[in-house]
Structure 1
Amino acid sequence: MNLDNFDERFNDFLERFDNTFEKEEPYEDIVKIVNSSKLNASEFEKALAIEHLIAQKRTNNLVKLALKEFLKKD
């Protein structure tokens, strides 16, 4: 795989990945988790926790899927 091929495949991969997060389900699940685990937290603290969990989940999924995608044999 050359650099141009990698860039093209990676851009396609990122677009597919971003499309999976356009659905509401992942966000709804995260909101439920935060609301049930941070009962006494302020709305600001809950918002920070939601933002953190979304970023963490996206990063974890991005790395996992990228490894699967790019470790495939051509």
Structure 2
Amino acid sequence: MTVNVGTIDRVLRAVLGVVLLYLAFASGLPLFDGAVFKYGAAIVGVVMLVVAAVRVCPLYAIIGIKTCRT
């Protein structure tokens, strides 16, 4: 698969992934006490970090979006 995630998009996804993982496991907010929000946020956070690491977004590939210059 070709790279389709640019630098700014990559940084934003990494930050969002870390924030979601923090909210899910370390924040102590009552919203994240339930399993649905806790594990939902964790799954989305991990996906965001993986996409930021490999720079390939399958949804972008389907839609035909590229946020990188090359």
TM-score range, shorter chain: 0.3 to 0.5
Q: Could you state the TM-score of these two structures normalised by the residue count of structure 1?
A: 0.38
Which protein, 1 or 2, shows the higher relative CO under an 8 Å CA cutoff with sep ≥ 6? 2
Q: Could you state the TM-score of these two structures normalised by the residue count of structure 2?
A: 0.40
Greater C-alpha Rg: 1
Higher helix share: 1
